[in-house]
Amino acid sequence: MVRSASPLVTVTIPMYNNERYIAETIESVLAQTMPDFELLIYDDHSTDRSLEIAQSYDDRRISVFTSEKNLGPEANWNRSISDVRGRYVKLLCADDLLFPECLEKQCAAYELSGQEKVSLVSSSRTIIDHEGNPLINKVSFLDDGLKSPSDVVRKMVRTGTNIIGEPVCGLYPSSLIASTNGYSARIPYTTDLDFWVQLLRLGNLWMIDEALCAFRISGRSWSSRIGSMRHEQFVEFMNEVALDEQFQVNELDLFIGRFNSAVQSMTSLMGFKLFAGSASQKRVIPVT
């Protein structure tokens, strides 16, 4: 396995038992209009055909790493960013998708930002179901351009949800990884958002108000407990963020956020239950 010494972007995929989707995810990376990337796939001791499928690709940009035991999501996500060589990094969950111009447009955003210190570029996303059908064509909470950390975090608190996006949405400078504590699952629901906030302590956000990727939801991963867990964990996260004076979160922000978080959790719970009910009646086609 010969890796490029200095690709522009490292796309890294932490993977565990994703045989149904991993080929589609890999192919979405290989279809990028910006070809200067490496793709690192970290298998977390899968028990299905995920590793076999990932290893079947013959592309010099792809490197596949295995594990002798299951490490769990937090450890495997951090392992996935432990040896990146690109100037920029995108962590991509093994069932999500990049649209063809995603890397090209997100890299270009760093040039557009000029002298402003940008520590994170994110974009809007499409929500897809287990078969790849769009459920919501575009989810967007922020318009185009440069956003200050305090503005983003205060709006996030008031909105009561992750307005920056899931891991698939973000691209960040690899040079900043050493200045963070990595991904933490201490509050599981906000693992990705916690990392975004760490990056926002180091610079601004540049938002692209265009769906450049797809985040997949699956009825199989849903449980009736997630709605209440989401609210409780998001409120815990809001309270912690509010302690950081850099973000200027006040009591009114927290009050509004607690209400909106409860509403977001309730509507998501109903929506996912409805989705899970309809998905369970569709025939699941196994990967062969």
Please report, for the domain that includes residue 86, its CATH number. Answer: 3.90.550.10
Residue at which a domain ends, from 47, 74, 95:
95
Compute, in degrees rounded to 10, the torsion defined by CA atoms 145, 125, 10, 64. 170
Q: What is the span of the domain harbouring residue 122?
A: 96-279
- Angle CA(16)–CA(19)–CA(21) in degrees, nearest 5? 100
Residues 64 and 197 in one domain: no
What are 145-173's pLDDT values in tens digits? 999 999 999 999 999 999 999 999 999 99
Distances (CA, A) of 230 to 157, 266, 273: 14, 9, 15
> What is the percentage of the chain residues whose pLDDT exceeds 70?
88
- d(Cα 254, Cα 239) in Å, to the nearest integer? 8
What are 78-128's pLDDT values in tens digits? 999 999 999 999 999 999 999 999 999 999 999 888 778 999 999 999 999
Asked, for residue 288, whether it belongs to a domain, the answer is no
**Total domain count, the chain:** 2
Residues 60 and 203 in one domain: no
Asked, for residue 285, whether it belongs to a domain, the answer is no
| pLDDT band at 223; cut points 50, 70, 90 | very low
**Spacing of C-alpha 266 from chain mean position:** 22
Token pair recorded at residue 46? 């899968």
Q: What is the b/e burial string over 12-50, where b = at least 16 CB atoms within 10 angstroms of the residue's CB?
A: bbbbbbbbbbbbbbbebbeebebebbbbbbbbbebeebb
| pLDDT band at 13; cut points 50, 70, 90 | very high
pLDDT the model gives residue 229: 82
Residues 100 and 86 in one domain: no
Q: Which residue has the higher pLDDT, 158 or 4?
A: 158
Q: Are strands 118-128 and 97-98 parallel, antiparallel or unpaired?
A: unpaired
247: which residues sit within 8 A by CB, 6+ positions away? Answer: 149, 150, 153, 154, 200, 241
